[in-house]
Amino acid sequence: MYMAAGDARRLPLSNSSVDLVVTSPPYWQKRDYGFPQQIGRERTVEEYVASLLSVLSELRRVLTASGSVFLNIGDTYVDGSLAGVPSHLEIAARRAGWLIPNRIVWAKPSGMPSPHRTRLVARHEAIFHLTPNADYFYDLDGYLQSMDDRVDSGDVWTIPLRPNKTRHLAPFPPEIAERAIHLACPRRACVRCGRPERRRVEATAELNPARPQARRAMELARERGITDDHIRAIRATGICDAGKAQQWQTGAGKNTDLIQVLAAEAKEKLGGYFREFTFPLRKTVGFQPSCRCRQGMRRGIVLDPFAGTGTSLQVAASMKRIGIGFDYEVEHLQLAEAQAVGAEAIPGNAGHAAA
């Protein structure tokens, strides 16, 4: 893990050198970090969003072509109304050319009560997944396999708030970084072109035993004599019977009569549970480079330009990625160093590497 003092708008990193950014910038008008270059004290929400856009433009410079940003942002009340900070940022980022594959809702299952009697307590924040290019690295299989039954493929992340250990910093649950890294930071990338290693997966005959509906579907299949041919037929016809798998089709874009008969039989025996068999359990069979450079691989690199106490970087190190962080406030870096685990220096860069 590597951390140094620096302004998020001017990072001492080369172009196309980072695979993923996971960050939580200072929220608008929430706290005063006490230095003039700080982001978050702007007079208007428009000025604040303009500051974040200059950070995003710097992030676009340092990201590889397949890179992504996961940015956690909260809203602020002004004169009894939400200022709409996440919405302003989302629109401005789209106008600046960013793609937004997801606006993830971070739902907090509990929290402090509020003194306000005229509105509900805010228990969610936005996490934007932003990317400059449509061909971004994304490992949904890795995410689902590694996080077991803690997650599904939905865009609502229910993650409890961790108690704030320090006086200065907003708590940032490590699980947000963990999820973002599983999804969008390759384990390794080519040292020459930066292209990511890709996971190779194969569909199995099994279903995901973590899903209760899938467990019931497998039970029914055993009880009612469903064969592998039935399951292949269900997968070939899919939910709407329109035909999915080319290898089971006649060549005229249609399923053979036998496939239709087997699928109908299986659907009759399984009722609504037949749908479960259209989502087979996928297993990892290996990893492979996505380029032909053959120059060797480096670990995936995660950047946090508002590193604070270094949560994202510590998670990155624990997941065998390289974590790089900057924060304008050196005091925060010292706190981060004190808390660092699994730290790792990056040769050739100035600054301090926490051990």
Ligand X SMILES: C[S@@+](CC[C@H](N)C(=O)[O-])C[C@H]1O[C@@H](n2cnc3c(N)ncnc32)[C@H](O)[C@@H]1O
Q: DSSP for 222-287? A: HHTT--HHHHHHHHHH-TTSS---GGGB-SSSSB-HHHHHHHHHHHHHHGGGGGGGGSPPEEEEEE
Q: What is the distance between the alpha carbons of residues 285 and 277, in angstroms, rounded to a whole number?
A: 21
Q: In 96-160, which ranges are continuous DSSP H helix?
A: 140-146
Of the two residues 297 and 336, which places its CB atom closer to ligand X in the complex?
336
Contact with ligand X (CB under 6 A): which of 1, 26, 59, 315? 26
Q: Which of 72, 139, 109, 122 is nearest to 287 (CA)?
A: 139
Interface segment toward ligand X; rule CB under 6 A; list 132-140, 196-204, 244-252, 328-336:
328-336
What's the min distance (Å) between Cβ of 30 and ligand X? 8
Contact with ligand X (CB under 6 A): which of 327, 340, 343, 354? 327
Q: Is residue 236 a contact point for ligand X (CB under 6 A)? A: no
What's the min distance (Å) between Cβ of 7 and ligand X? 4
Contact with ligand X (CB under 6 A): which of 4, 8, 89, 259? 8
Q: Is residue 144 a contact point for ligand X (CB under 6 A)? A: no
Q: CB of 277 within 8 A of CB of 267?
A: no
Q: Is residue 54 a contact point for ligand X (CB under 6 A)? A: no
What's the min distance (Å) between Cβ of 25 and ligand X? 6
Number of residues lying near ligand X (CB under 6 A): 20
**How would you label 43-74 residue by residue, b for 16+ Cβ within 10 Å and e otherwise?**
eebeebbebbbebbebbbebbbebbbbbbbbb
Q: Is residue 229 a contact point for ligand X (CB under 6 A)? A: no
The 264-303 contact track toward ligand X, x by CB under 6 A, reads ----------------------------------------
Q: Is residue 70 a contact point for ligand X (CB under 6 A)? A: no
Two structure tokens written together for 129: 């997944």
Contact with ligand X (CB under 6 A): which of 20, 24, 178, 299? 24
Roughly what angle, to the nearest 10 degrees, separates helices 228-237 and 257-270? 100
Of the two residues 26 and 196, which places its CB atom closer to ligand X in the complex?
26
Using DSSP's 3-state secondary structure scheme, residue 49 falls into: helix
**Residue ranges in 161-220 that form contacts with ligand X under rule CB under 6 A:** 169-170, 172
Contact with ligand X (CB under 6 A): which of 16, 17, 38, 133? 38
Q: Is residue 22 a contact point for ligand X (CB under 6 A)? A: no
Two structure tokens written together for 20: 């993923």
Of the two residues 38 and 158, which places its CB atom closer to ligand X in the complex?
38
Q: CB of 303 within 8 A of CB of 321?
A: no
The letter for the amino acid at 224 is R
What's the min distance (Å) between Cβ of 300 and ligand X? 19
Q: Is residue 33 a contact point for ligand X (CB under 6 A)? A: yes
Q: Which of 311, 317, 333, 301 is nearest to 23 (CA)?
A: 311
Q: What residue ranges bind ligand X (CB under 6 A)?
A: 7-8, 24, 26, 33, 37-39, 169-170, 172, 306, 308-309, 311, 326-329, 332
